[in-house]
Amino acid sequence: MLDLGLMPLANRLLTAEDLDRPEPLYPLAMAFCPRCLLVQITDTVRPEELFRQYAYFSSVSDAMVEHAREIVDGLIDRLELGSRNLVVELASNDGYLLQHYVARGIPVLGIDPARNIAEVATARGIPTRAEFFGVPVAREMRAAAELADVVHANNVLAHVPDIHDFIEGIATILKPTGVAVIETPYVRDLVERLAFDTIYHEHVFYYSVAALIRLFEPHQLELVDVERTPIHGGSLRLFVMRAGAAQPAPSVAELLDQESALGMTEIGWFQDFGSRVQRLGEDLRGLLVTLKAEGGSIAAYGAAAKGAILLNAFRIGTETIDFVADRSPHKVGQFMPGVRIPIRPAHELLAAMPDVCLLLAWNFADEILGQQSEYRRRGGRFILPVPEPRVV
């Protein structure tokens, strides 16, 4: 479907010392499997190399924290959760979601492989185990009677190479009437919105509803409800229970029918994706070259993984972009992978007043455009790169 060639690890930000050393590059190509219906990358990188130290802290985004609060408040009311229940989150990051349960007096446990992030979460009062979740950890939890009424797994299903071990782990810790609430990017939105920059080595799998149903079946789990949500450019929110525990909602059959009607179970639906990405690159580079030739200064906003992919895939570097502004103190002072553009604090966008700013974290466009209203008031403009470049 798509071959981006050799690419750096999208979340492996560089220090000043790293600039004197060669950077490891890995193949990044995307394929469709006609048997299991998964879209997946063809080469994987060891999870230990990707996730033991991690640069992304979810709480930096106000929109993510609010998104999590809405999920939690809705589930507490829907399931009548209280102090006798247990909520477990897999890939819990810095406690951005579980903090809302803690505030309501509901016991929680976070599990996240990134040691640096688990330490931050624990310091915030969110008990967090710094481990990769799978069957071994799940069996330990079951032996300790740590069974969950709710298992959250947001933006992690794509990250796990041994996905069957992960799903069996969920089945192991779920109470008989428990529910797993899972959010994962929707491959339909990825293709239709040309969100190719969400493809990187951490994201092994890209799911349709049809593929997810096939994934859950061997583990005696069933998709009982599904919602589409705009987060991260378009995602699915899945409600999964033990097979037979609940009657599936009409939403499951409705999305399956839509996927079938679109042809998403066949390779033909995906085949022009690569050529569309190539055209997008040509259009975006052409726009930036024109702006630069007119004497304009250009910065970027959002040192996100998707930004690293877009810059490297389209060969946009320091010859075009002066710096990348970012709100996260964990990223400031480092450099973007591959292209080595310096990362500076968000307030420097206003101080430097570049004529144009390429919005790399376009999935949080509304939040960022609001935060940078003064930059825009003074005449600064943003470029939203996908699904087609446009200046706002």
- The pLDDT value given to residue 382: 97
Question: According to CATH, what is the number of the domain 274-391?
Answer: 3.40.50.720
Backbone angles phi, psi at 309, to 5 degrees: -65, -50
DSSP code at position 37: -
From the number of C-beta atoms within 10 Å of its C-beta (0-12, 13-18, 19+), residue 283 rates as middle
Instruction: Please tell me the distance from the alpha carbon of residue 111 to that of residue 92, in angstroms, as a whole number.
Output: 6
Give the 3-state secondary structure percentages of the chain, helix then strand then coil, rounded to 5.
Answer: 40, 25, 35
Amino acid at 301: Y
Q: What's the start-to-end Cα distance of the chain, in Å?
A: 31
pLDDT of residue 383: 98
The pLDDT value recorded for residue 3 is: 96
Residue 34 phi/psi, 5° resolution?
Answer: -70, -15
Angle at 356 between CA 350 and CA 362, to 5 degrees: 90
Element (DSSP H or E) covering residue 68: helix 62-79
Angstrom distance (rounded) from CA 212 to CA 51: 24
Cis omega (within 30 of 0) for bond into 387: yes
What is the reported pTM?
0.88
Say if CB 324 and CB 336 are below 8 A apart: yes
pLDDT value for 205: 96
Compute the distance between CA of residue 160 and CA of residue 155 in angstroms, rounded to an integer: 10
Give the start-to-end residue ranges of the domains of the chain: 33-270, 274-391
Residue 323 sits at φ, ψ, to 5 deg, of -165, 165
**pLDDT of the chain, 392 residues: tens digit per residue:** 999 999 999 999 999 999 999 999 999 999 999 998 999 999 999 877 776 565 567 777 788 889 899 999 999 999 999 999 999 999 999 999 999 999 999 999 999 998 898 999 999 999 999 999 999 999 999 999 999 999 999 999 999 999 999 999 999 999 999 999 999 999 999 999 999 999 999 999 999 999 999 999 999 999 999 999 998 889 999 999 999 999 999 999 999 999 999 999 999 999 999 999 999 999 999 999 999 999 999 999 999 999 999 999 999 999 999 999 999 898 999 999 999 999 999 999 999 999 999 999 998 899 999 999 999 999 999 999 999 999 99
Residue type, position 27, single letter: P
Q: Which tokens go with 317?
A: 């570097």
Q: Could you say which DSSP state residue 50 is in?
A: H
Domains 33-270 and 274-391 share a fold: yes
Sort strands 87-90 and 39-41 into parallel, antiparallel or unpaired: unpaired
Tokens 């470029």 sit at which residue?
383
Question: Within a 10 A sphere around the Cβ of 355, how many other Cβ atoms?
Answer: 15
Query: By the 8 A CB rule, do 45 and 28 touch?
Result: no
pLDDT at 172: 98
Which SS3 state, helix, strand or coil, does residue 16 take?
coil
Which of the listed CATH numbers 3.30.70.20, 3.40.50.10860, 3.40.50.150, 3.20.20.300 matches domain 33-270?
3.40.50.150
Q: Which residues of 142-177 are buried (b: 16+ CB within 10 A; e: fewer)?
A: eeeeebbbbbbbbbbbbbbeebeebbbbbbbbbbee
Query: What pLDDT is attached to residue 185?
Result: 93
Query: Tokens representing 151?
Result: 């298992």
Instruction: Pull the structure tokens for residue 315.
Output: 């060969």
Burial 186-198 (b: 16+ CB within 10 A, else e): bbbbbbeebbbbb
